[in-house]
Amino acid sequence: MSIILSFLLILLFPSANASWPPSPGYWPSSKFRPMSFYKGFRNLWGPAHQSVDQNALTIWLDRTSGSGFKSVKPFRSGYFGASIKVQPGYTAGVITAFYLSNNEAHPGFHDEVDIEFLGTTFGKPYTLQTNVYIRGSGDGKIIGREMKFHLWFDPTKDFHHYAILWSPREIMQVFLVDDVPIRRYPRKSAATFPLRPMWVYGSIWDASSWATEDGKYKADYRYQPFVAKYTNFKAGGCSAYAPAWCRPVSASPFRSGGLTMQQRRAMRWVQRYLVVYNYCWDPKRNHALTPEC
């Protein structure tokens, strides 16, 4: 009886010393079948820096180029995920990304939802950056909504599943790592939430000007090639061509949407112990431009 009670207490009240988040109790990734790369995606750039073997995609960056890919169709809502493994060692300045965007359809005025691994230096952990752009531009006026995290595992050791659940019906976006919600971005108004169809992208590229400690450390091509591997691609929901009655996917077992108490508990744990930057907490930001804070 005491063992059962202790187990229940650990589930309900994870301690500050816990090194792993509590179970979310629901696994959205299990609701979607994996697809082969060529069934759902195509190369976008850097074809010579991309290879596919048994449904696993490898892309790499060297002095000559990086590489990127794009979904064959746009979506207006859905669940989008991939299992990713990044390179160990010195990767400063290098971005490995999985994201939603409509930048090609709306250049200079696009929406974007990002999951990005920010490269690092020897002995330091990767930072996972999540970001949301709403009708942004590339001319310096873009408003980022960054939240950065350290992970509870080493993303260079094995594949882990990273996903974005975008649901205008549920009035939110959820970022998930191994089905643990790490961030919920709510829709406060149409001005602060992406509503136009977006494609799914992935890429590896040189962002030395800002990626690692605000550009302090640059990409060092003595360590090239910088390699990222993707597999277990999942994309489900309502494409831009689906009928109006298409039902968006849910982040939880509730058809009405929203996260369960157990999912919220897991997310609170991550945000309590692993957040390293939150734009809403940054006193240097003009929060009149980010009313959702």
pLDDT at 291: 86
Q: Using one digit for the tens of pLDDT, what is the confidence trace for 157-186?
A: 999 999 999 987 655 689 999 999 999 987
Alpha-carbon span 198 to 186, nearest angstrom: 18
**Global confidence as pTM:** 0.91
Q: Residues 6 or more apart from 88 whose CB is under 8 A from it?
A: 156
Higher-pLDDT residue of 65 and 20 is 65
The first and second tokens of residue 149, run together, are 């995290």
Residue whose structure tokens are 């060297």: 62
169 burial level (CB within 10 Å; 0-12, 13-18, 19+): middle
The first and second tokens of residue 129, run together, are 């950056």
Q: Which fold has domain 33-282?
A: Jelly Rolls (2.60.120)
Given a cut of 80, whether residue 2 has pLDDT beyond it is: no
Section 7-34 average pLDDT:
72
pLDDT at 13: 42
Given a cut of 70, whether residue 267 has pLDDT beyond it is: yes
Given a cut of 80, whether residue 264 has pLDDT beyond it is: yes
Alpha-carbon span 194 to 175, nearest angstrom: 15
Which range is most confident: 68-82, 133-147, 254-268? 68-82
pLDDT band for position 11 (50/70/90)?
very low
Q: Using one digit for the tens of pLDDT, what is the confidence trace for 28-52?
A: 999 999 999 999 999 999 999 999 9
pLDDT band for position 12 (50/70/90)?
very low
Give the number of other Cβ atoms within 10 Å of residue 4's Cβ.
8
Section 220-242 average pLDDT:
96
pLDDT at 159: 98
Given a cut of 90, whether residue 60 has pLDDT beyond it is: yes
Catalytic pick among 112, 170, 213, 292: 112
Q: Using one digit for the tens of pLDDT, what is the confidence trace for 78-113?
A: 999 999 999 999 999 999 999 999 999 888 888 899
Alpha-carbon span 167 to 174, nearest angstrom: 9
Alpha-carbon span 109 to 239, nearest angstrom: 21
Section 19-30 average pLDDT:
94
pLDDT at 3: 41
pLDDT band for position 5 (50/70/90)?
very low
Given a cut of 90, whether residue 7 has pLDDT beyond it is: no
What are the phi and psi torsion angles at 191 (to 5°)? -75, -15
* Catalytic residue check, 112: yes
pLDDT band for position 271 (50/70/90)?
very high
Strand partners, 278: 147
Alpha-carbon span 165 to 259, nearest angstrom: 12
Higher-pLDDT residue of 181 and 3 is 181
Given a cut of 60, whether residue 8 has pLDDT beyond it is: no
Higher-pLDDT residue of 252 and 125 is 125
Residue 47, SS3?
helix
pLDDT band for position 120 (50/70/90)?
very high
* Catalytic residue check, 116: yes
Q: Residues 6 or more apart from 275 whose CB is under 8 A from it?
A: 147, 148, 149
Alpha-carbon span 191 to 102, nearest angstrom: 16
Q: Residues 6 or more apart from 195 whose CB is under 8 A from it?
A: 111, 168
Which range is most confident: 1-15, 193-207, 213-227? 213-227
